[in-house]
Amino acid sequence: NDKVTVSTLRKYKSEGKKITALTAYDFPTAKILDECGVDMILVGDSLGMAVLGYESTIPVTMDDMVHHTKAVTKAATRAFIIADMPFMSYNISKEDALKNAARLMAEGGAQSVKLEGGIEVADTVKSIVNAGIPVVGHLGLTPQSVNQLGGYKVQGKDDKKASKLRSDAKSLEDAGICALVLECIPMDLAKEITESISVPTIGIGAGPYCDGQILVLHDMMGLTQGHKPKFVKQYANIDKIIRNSVNNYISDVRNSLFPTEEYSFTSRKSDAK
């Protein structure tokens, strides 16, 4: 049960051993994931939708990310922890990007940071890596650019966009990333990129040929309201479990079925008898 590091990830890729990853945003779920043996835990800015009730990842702040990263890193002893750099925390200047990446590491306790984009962020990636902070890249459907992409849809379907993604992957590899998330791209393109770079690819909606897979925990657990993308396999229906429990509790209290004596205390005097 050795701690997963950047070397572990590279080793898994070279051995063809699949890397498992999930998101987490709090202590109890991160503890479960870590004890189950998931290799990577991402404190994603999907936090905004999954637990903060936002409509996109755009309103998520550095303070939000640091707050939740702290809870996750306290729980995880084995998994490699990645913290997402939120919208505009790495786009304004390299100094800004370095300061914000440093907060996620020093205050949050993460082992790496993730940021979205290709060639346009390569210099920023390089300076964060040079500061000793492992960086995970993220290409394809990059949710922080949803307004520019015109919605949440499959990316890299035509030749021009596919070749842009290939060269973006290359420039991120050259900039020194330790892993690359590929989100919502055709599986043949994901396969090509996976075979063409030395760093592990982690797919979400990117088919079976990536070096690893990630899903948003709340999506795969059935705790997400509304639209669920095609690439999400739902492994549980936690929404239903919570509803049933809450309905039973309400009914018990209304009908004076809870608490019974079993859940109640007696006075000191009667305890002593």
Residues assigned a catalytic role:
183
DSSP string covering 4-58: P-HHHHHHHHHHTPPEEEEE--SHHHHHHHHHHT-SEEEE-TTHHHHTS--SSST
* Binds ligand KIV by CB under 6 A, chosen from 85, 181, 190, 210: 181
- Measured in degrees and rounded to the nearest 5, phi and psi for residue 255 equal -100, 15
- Measured in degrees and rounded to the nearest 5, phi and psi for residue 192 equal -60, -45
Options 37-45, 190-198, 203-211, 250-258: segment touching Na ion (CB under 5 A): 37-45
Q: Which amino acid is at 155?
A: Q
Closest to Na ion by CB, 149 vs 258, is 149
Of residues 38, 130, 19, the one with CA closest to residue 76: 38
Residue 184 burial by CB count (10 A; 0-12/13-18/19+): exposed, middle or buried?
buried
Residue 46 assigned ligand-binding role: yes
Residue 116 assigned ligand-binding role: yes
Residues 233-272 that bind Na ion (CB under 5 A): none
Options 38-46, 125-133, 160-168, 229-237: segment touching ligand KIV (CB under 6 A): 38-46
CB of 41 to ligand KIV, least distance (A): 11
The Cα–Cα gap between 9 and 15 comes to 10
Q: Is 190 in the site for ligand KIV (CB under 6 A)?
A: no
Q: Is 84 in the site for ligand KIV (CB under 6 A)?
A: yes
Q: Which residues bind ligand KIV (CB under 6 A)?
A: 23, 42, 44-46, 84, 181, 183, 204, 214, 216
**Binding-site residue positions for Mg(2+):** 45, 84, 116
**Binding-site residue positions:** 45-46, 84, 114, 116
